[in-house]
Amino acid sequence: MNAPLKHNAGYWGTKTNFARLLEHISKIGPVLEENAVATEKLGKLNEPTFEALKPLRMSHIFATEELGGAQLSPTQGLQLIEAITYHSGAAGWVSMVHACIGAMSAAFLPDTAISRLFGGGTDNRFSGQGTPTGMLKKVDGGYLLNGKWSYASGIHHATFTHTAALLDDGNGHPAKDENGNVVVLCAHAPVGEHGLLGNWSVLGLQGTGSIDYDAKDVFIADDMVFPIMTAEPQRQKEFFSLGVVGLAAIGHSGWAIGASRRMLDEMAKFAVTKTGRAGMLGESDKFWFDYGRAEARVRAARAFLFEVWRDVEASIEAGKRVSTRQITLVHLAKSEVHEAGVDACHFVYRAAGGASLRDGIMQRTYREMLVAANHFTINTNIVGAAGREIGGLWNDRVWQFYDLVEKK
C-alpha cells in the first residue's frame, strides 16, 4: 500500500532524502504518542512534540530547493502528513497547516518577500486564516491590517501569519476589481504583532491550538501580500497552479488517511485481544464482516486519492498546469477520504463499546475525525459543484477558490 513512488527527477527536489524523513517520523512516533494527552490538555503542541517535529521543517517541504526547501511532490507530502497523523492527530494537523501555508507563501509572494521569509538561515513557520474577516487599508509603502480571525491552527508554533483580508476602498468599504468582485489579499506579518485571543474549547483537535487572533493597525509591506482568490504562481508554475485550494487539499487529505488508518488498526488490536472469549468481538462473524467493509472503503478512498494525485503529478512533470477536471477530482478524493474515515470511526466507536468511551487513542481519534470532517474545505457545496462538472452540467466553468465560476 505504501510502495515507493517514482518521479521525474527534473522537476521535484533531489537534495532531501525522502526515506529519511519517513524514518524520522517512525523514530519520533513514540514521542508523539506519549505526549498526545498532554498536548490535548495544554491546548497546543507541548514542547517534546514540537521539538520532535522541528527537524522535518514542514513549512519548507514544498518550497523550492532554491529557497532552502525540499521541493517534494504532492504524493510525498501526503505520505509525510499521513505518517505524522497516525501517531498524533494534533501533530499531524499542525504539520499539515505549516506545510500547506508555507507552500502558499513560497508560491505566490514576490521575490523580495521570499528573500526575507525563506532566505539563508531562516526557519520560518506559517499559520493563519484564509477567510477575509478583516480589512487592509492602503498607506505609504504598504497597508494597515485590522480585524479578527478564527481557527489559526499551529499559530503558537509559527513565526509568521498568513491572513486573508478585504482591501479597503478608502471609505471603509470593500474595494472591487474591474469585474465587480471584491479584492481579497493575503497578508503576512510576524506572529508577535498580533493579539492571540484563545477561544479554542472544542470537541476534538484541542492540541492544535486553533485559536482566534486579531490585528490592530499592523503594518504590512507592499510585497508581503498576494491576491488569494486569483494568485498566479511566481515559481514552479506548473505545481503551484494548484492554487491555495489545491495545496490545502494535500494537507487535509493526508491528515484524513492517517487518522483513518490508526482508527482501524486500534480496532483490530482490540478485537484480537478478545479472541477466544465467548460473545466477544473476535468470535463475531458480523463484526469481522463490518470490519472488512470499513477496511475496504478506507483503502479504496486512499487508492483513489493517490490515483488522482499521481495524475496531477504526471501533468506537472510534463510541463502542464493543473486542469479544471483535475482540481474537481482532487476535491472529490479529499471528500471521500474524510467520508470513509468518518464512517470507519463511527463503526469503531459503536463496535468497541465501553473501550471507545474511555480516554485513549480510539476516543481521541473519533473526536478528531468528526472535527476534521466539519472543516469548510470538506463542505457539500464543493462536492456538489464537482459532481456538476463531471456530469457535464458545468463543464464550461473553472475553479476559483472553492467555487466553480463561469469563464470570464
Contact 134, 147 (CB under 8 A): yes
Cα 99 to Cα 107: distance, rounded to the nearest angstrom: 12
Q: What is the pTM of this model?
A: 0.95
Residue 279 CB-density burial (10 A; 0-12 exposed, 13-18 middle, 19+ buried): exposed
What's the mean pLDDT when you consider all of the chain? 94
What was the pLDDT predicted at 27?
98
The pLDDT tens digits of the residues spanning 196-253 come to 999 999 999 999 999 999 999 999 999 999 999 999 999 999 999 999 999 999 999 9
pLDDT category, 285, cuts 50, 70, 90? very high
The pLDDT tens digits of the residues spanning 361-376 come to 999 999 999 999 999 8
* Neighbour count for residue 128 (Cβ, 10 Å): 28
Contact 379, 359 (CB under 8 A): no
Given a cut of 80, is residue 8 above it in pLDDT?
no
pLDDT category, 112, cuts 50, 70, 90? very high
First to last CA, the chain: 42
What was the pLDDT predicted at 1?
40
What was the pLDDT predicted at 276?
54
Dihedrals phi, psi of 17, to nearest 5 degrees: -85, 100
Contact 256, 337 (CB under 8 A): yes
Q: Which whole number is the average pLDDT over 106-117?
A: 95
Helical (H) or strand (E) element with 145 = strand 142-152
Q: Which whole number is the average pLDDT over 289-314?
A: 98
Alpha-carbon dihedral of residues 18, 19, 25, 29, nearest 10 degrees?
A: 160
